Structure 1
Amino acid sequence: MPQQPDPQQSRPQQRGPRRPTRTSALVLVSAFAVGAALAVPGAAFAGDRERPHGQGKPRADVVQQGLDRLVREDGVPAALASVTDRKGRDRDLVAGVGDLATGARVPVDGQVRIGSNSKTFVAATVLQLVGEGAIGLDDPIEAYLPGLVRGDGVDGHDITVRDLLQHTSGIRSYTDGPPFLQDGVPDLAAITDWYVEPHELLDLALAMPASGGGKAFAYSNTNYLLAGLIVQKATGRPLAEAITERIIEPLGLRSTYVPDRGERAIRGPHPHGYFAATADSALVDVTDLDSSQAWASGDIVSTPSDLNAFFSALLGGKILRPAELAQMKAVITPDGLPEGFGYGLGLTSTALSCGDVAWGHGGAIAGYLTEGGVTDSGRAVTVAVAALDVGQPDTTAHLAELVDTALCS
Structure 2
Amino acid sequence: MGAGASGLVVQARDAEGRDREAGAGVRDLARGGRIPLDAYYRIGSDTKTFVAVAALQLVAEGRLGLGDTVDEWLPGVVNGNGNDGSRITVRNLLQHTSGLPNYTDILFGDPEELTPENYRAKRFTARTPEQQVALAMSRAPGWLPDPENPGAETRWAYSNTNYVLIGMIIERVTGHPWEQEIHERIIEPLGLRHTLTMGTSAYVPQPTATAYLQFPGRHDLTDTTLQVDGGADGGIVSTTTDMNTFLRALMDGTLLPAEQLEQMRTTVPAPDFSGGAEARYGLGIAWRPVEGCDGGVWYHGGTSFGTVSETAVTPDGDVSVAAAVFTTRFGDPGRAAAQDKATYEMVERAVCRKP
Does the TM-score normalized on the shorter chain lie above 0.5? yes
* 2:149 alignment counterpart: none
Q: In the superposition, relative to structure 1, how do residues 281 and 197 fare at CA in structure 2: closer, same or farther (>3 Å)? A: farther
Structure 2: distance between partners of 1:393 and 1:174: 23
Check the 8 A contact 1:93/1:109 in 2, yes or no.
no
Structure 2: distance between partners of 1:80 and 1:400: 14
Structure 1: distance between partners of 2:348 and 2:124: 36
Check the 8 A contact 1:308/1:381 in 2, yes or no.
yes
- Compute the displacement of 1:92 (Å): 1.6
| Mapping of residues 27-42 of structure 1, within 5 Å | none
Which one-letter code corresponds to 2:197 in the other structure?
Answer: V
- Compute the displacement of 1:279 (Å): 6.0
Instruction: Give the match's secondary structure for 2:32.
Output: coil
Overall identity of the aligned pairs, in %: 38
Instruction: Give the match's secondary structure for 1:168.
Output: coil
* 2:132 alignment counterpart: 201
Check the 8 A contact 1:189/1:284 in 2, yes or no.
no
Structure 2: distance between partners of 1:185 and 1:311: 36
* Structure 1 counterpart of 2:305, from 339, 358, 366: 366
| Mapping of residues 207-356 of structure 1, within 5 Å | 207-212=138-143, 215=153, 216-260=155-199, 262-278=200-216, 280-291=218-229, 294-335=230-271, 338-356=276-294
Which one-letter code corresponds to 1:226 in the other structure?
Answer: L
- Compute the displacement of 1:251 (Å): 0.4
* Structure 2 counterpart of 1:181, from 93, 103, 109: 109
Structure 1: distance between partners of 2:81 and 2:112: 22
Which one-letter code corresponds to 1:182 in the other structure?
Answer: D
Structure 1: distance between partners of 2:61 and 2:67: 15
Which one-letter code corresponds to 1:386 in the other structure?
Answer: F
- Compute the displacement of 1:350 (Å): 1.3
Structure 2: runs of 5+ lacking an equivalent: 146-152
Q: In the superposition, relative to structure 1, how do residues 272 and 183 fare at CA in structure 2: closer, same or farther (>3 Å)? A: closer
- Report whether the alignment pairs 1:110 with 2:48: no
- Compute the displacement of 1:226 (Å): 0.2
Instruction: Give the match's secondary structure for 1:94.
Output: strand
- Compute the displacement of 1:162 (Å): 0.2
Instruction: Give the match's secondary structure for 1:74.
Output: coil
- Compute the displacement of 1:109 (Å): 2.3
Structure 1: runs of 5+ lacking an equivalent: 1-70
Which one-letter code corresponds to 2:23 in the other structure?
Answer: V
Which one-letter code corresponds to 1:103 in the other structure?
Answer: G
Which one-letter code corresponds to 1:100 in the other structure?
Answer: L
Structure 2: distance between partners of 1:151 and 1:276: 35
Structure 1: distance between partners of 2:202 and 2:347: 29
TM-score normalised by the chain length of structure 2: 0.90
Q: More deviation in 376-385 or 243-252?
A: 376-385
- Compute the displacement of 1:184 (Å): 6.8
* 2:74 alignment counterpart: 145
Instruction: Give the match's secondary structure for 1:295.
Output: coil
* 1:54 alignment counterpart: none
Which one-letter code corresponds to 2:38 in the other structure?
Answer: D
Check the 8 A contact 1:272/1:285 in 2, yes or no.
yes
Structure 2: distance between partners of 1:74 and 1:189: 24
| Mapping of residues 64-79 of structure 1, within 5 Å | 71=1, 73-79=2-8
Alpha-carbon RMSD: 1.7
Check the 8 A contact 1:81/1:109 in 2, yes or no.
no
Q: In the superposition, relative to structure 1, how do residues 202 and 153 fare at CA in structure 2: closer, same or farther (>3 Å)? A: same
Check the 8 A contact 2:46/2:300 in 1, yes or no.
yes
Instruction: Give the match's secondary structure for 1:196.
Output: coil
Instruction: Give the match's secondary structure for 2:9.
Output: strand
Structure with greater strand share of residues: 2
What do the CA deviations read for 1:42-72 (whole angstroms, capped 9, x no partner)?
xxxxxxxxxxxxxxxxxxxxxxxxxxxxx2x
Would you say how many aligned residue pairs link Structure 1 and Structure 2? 334
